[in-house]
Amino acid sequence: MERIGEITRATKETEIRIRLNVDGRGEGRLDCPIGFLTHMLTTFARHGLFDLELRAAGDLEVDQHHLVEDTGIVLGQCFSRALGEKRGIRRVGSCLFPMDETLARAAVDLSGRAFLVFEGALSNIPLVSAPGGPGQGPASFQTDTVEDFWQGFVQGAGANLHLEILRGRSDHHKIEALFKAAARALREACEIDPRAADLVPSAKGTLESPGVIV
């Protein structure tokens, strides 16, 4: 049986709908006004072998924070819903991911407890891309929102996630390596352990899901 989570979250700041198939083929169908975030979620889906459908809109006239953070929250909630009581999963996963001069490390525990350690070593200088269309100036991505994304994710998923850059120069490479490492760590954590397919992987007998996040 495919494990699927689908969430729609609408506030006065953002409107986000995500459908996630944990047991997918890495296909992404994304409608997001932030090009760099689309790029990161596309690579996240591919490396995690997650099928991901996303439609996102938000108050970009303010800045990118609300949309990026809320996307992380909803994605995390989709993982929580797709995995249910988490019976049979490996629960933990890790990945050391090299990308040219950058080396990223991710470790995750789908414990039901939300905690993020983020050591991204980012400059917080926006990444600038080509103009989005006729008459538009260059677009940019606020790199300081990457930590906000993952903070939202752990809250939504009920996950303990450690992300760190061990070395690197390019902020683009650092962020992308972190998304790829996180995807592969989550892929491992979500996999069914054939030796314990009927067990919840906790000595307590339960892995509590997070509450509703507003």
> Per-residue DSSP letters for 12-78?
SSEEEEEEEETTS-S-EEEE-S-HHHHHHHHHHHHHHT-EEEEEEEE-TTT-SHHHHHHHHHHHHHH
**Percent of all residues in the chain with a pLDDT value above 70, rounded to a whole number:** 93
Give 196's pLDDT tier (boundaries 50, 70, 90).
confident
Predicted pLDDT of residue 42: 98
Predicted pLDDT of residue 53: 98
Q: Please say if the pLDDT value at position 214 is more than 50.
A: no
What sign for the dihedral angle of Cα 113, 117, 122, 123? positive
Predicted pLDDT of residue 133: 54
Give 204's pLDDT tier (boundaries 50, 70, 90).
confident
What sign for the dihedral angle of Cα 161, 102, 97, 51? positive
Residues 114-120 have a mean pLDDT of: 98
Give me the chain's average pLDDT, please: 92
Q: Please say if the pLDDT value at position 138 is more than 70.
A: no
Give 201's pLDDT tier (boundaries 50, 70, 90).
confident
Domains, the chain = 4-190 (3.30.230.40)
Predicted pLDDT of residue 160: 97
Give residue-wise pLDDT tens across range 158-173: 999 999 999 999 999 9
Predicted pLDDT of residue 3: 96
Predicted pLDDT of residue 202: 80
- C-beta neighbour count of 108 within 10 angstroms: 27
Question: Judging by beta carbons within 10 Å of its beta carbon (0-12, 13-18, 19+), is residue 125 exposed, middle or buried?
Answer: exposed
Q: CB of 18 within 8 A of CB of 74?
A: yes
Global pTM?
0.93
Residues 119-142 have a mean pLDDT of: 80
Dist CA 140 CA 145 (whole Å): 12
Three-state secondary-structure class, residue 183: helix
Higher-pLDDT residue of 211, 111: 111
Show Cβ contacts of residue 4 under 8 Å, excluding neighbours closer than 6 positions: 19, 20, 21, 22, 82
Q: Please say if the pLDDT value at position 78 is more than 50.
A: yes
- C-beta neighbour count of 10 within 10 angstroms: 11
Give residue-wise pLDDT tens across range 42-62: 999 999 999 999 999 999 999
